[in-house]
Structure 1
């Protein structure tokens, strides 16, 4: 089983480590900003997006290892159009209910919890130690940072970013592409394309 990761970042390293613990035999990176031959930790960086597209058939699966929600969405669309087998990577120590769903290209890292009837969209990140409680809906290419907590029934739009250690109250909705700052406590619905910070969370003034 051979996995390609597009994006030789720190985030990519965590995906690679989880993949190996899941039994992937080899992991190879591709990145537009690197000039191979290089390595990303113990893993080889073999080329850029074009090189990966030329070699897609050599890999059993591919995933995008880029933290930026927007860029991750763009790159995953390119790979999907080219017929890449987009896989989800769920760390063996994560606890994911069999009644939850995880979209293609999404990753769930060590000690994260995804509880029953939650739905994780495509290309999303549930980072280390994050908690997604029952009946949450996570949009495509969202990112839930380490140790963030979403209480039951919370709903995140596409490309939402929840900062590390932030908390979102039950049944709260956060609109597309909004950002919740580190440690924020969200107690009211949040619109689209805004940044909220603090406890209780409020829109950050420019």
Structure 2
């Protein structure tokens, strides 16, 4: 049976993921969305999720920016999943990526970086040597991680944030836009400012 490529999510983020796959030379057959607002995106049909024939031989990618939604979908769908690595990202051959992860244009990922499952490394972010990024993480545009930084699962690092070398950020955290993180961050913390300060804790985190 012919393998088809299916994206799940037809938002603006989905359009960017589609661009990445097309830049890789991957033919996307279909995009599904629970509440589609378009019938096509860049020539690819958009179909309500309930109308997808799951008997088809699909490989999937969740094209949704929200960490919690990607995590919930991963509980429902077993895959198999592909990754999307933009050809204009600079990626060490010694970096590794879990299934379903996305790396956007202008990203720099240096040696021995490990990115988990269904994580997003967004436009122009930089990850220096030996960083570890957990599952269902979103590293926003322009984020800079120095060497040996660890980001826990389900954490969102906001646009333009910077993290100094050796810092560990826990699971389920929210790092505000432009924050400068100079010390470890516990699970579930919401951190803003320069230097970063904890202002509250998320109600739930993994």
The answer as to whether partners of 1:16 and 1:27 remain within 8 angstroms in 2 is: no
**Between Structure 1 and Structure 2, how many residues are aligned?**
199
Aligned with 1:204: secondary structure? strand
- Structure 2 unmatched runs, 5+: 202-206
C-alpha displacement at 1:47, in angstroms? 2.0
Change beyond 3 A, Cα 1:66–1:53? farther
The CA distance in 2 between the partners of 1:42 and 1:179, in whole Å, is: 35
For residue 204 of structure 2, what is the aligned residue in structure 1?
A: none
Over aligned residue pairs, what C-alpha RMSD do you find? 1.7
Match of 1:93 among 82, 88, 99: 88
Change beyond 3 A, Cα 1:121–1:54? same
The CA distance in 2 between the partners of 1:7 and 1:65, in whole Å, is: 5
TM-score (norm 2): 0.91
Q: What do residues 127-182 of structure 1 show as CA deviations (whole Å, max 9, x unaligned)?
A: 00001110000000101000101100000110111001000111100110101000
For residue 20 of structure 2, what is the aligned residue in structure 1?
A: 18
For residue 128 of structure 1, what is the aligned residue in structure 2?
A: 123
For residue 132 of structure 2, what is the aligned residue in structure 1?
A: 137
1:166-181 paired onto structure 2 within 5 Å: 166-181=161-176
TM-score (norm 1): 0.91
The answer as to whether partners of 2:130 and 2:147 remain within 8 angstroms in 1 is: yes
Please state which structure has a larger fraction of its residues in helix.
1
C-alpha displacement at 1:43, in angstroms? 3.1
Q: What do residues 54-112 of structure 1 show as CA deviations (whole Å, max 9, x unaligned)?
A: 2541x3x21001111011011123221xxx22000000001111111011000000010
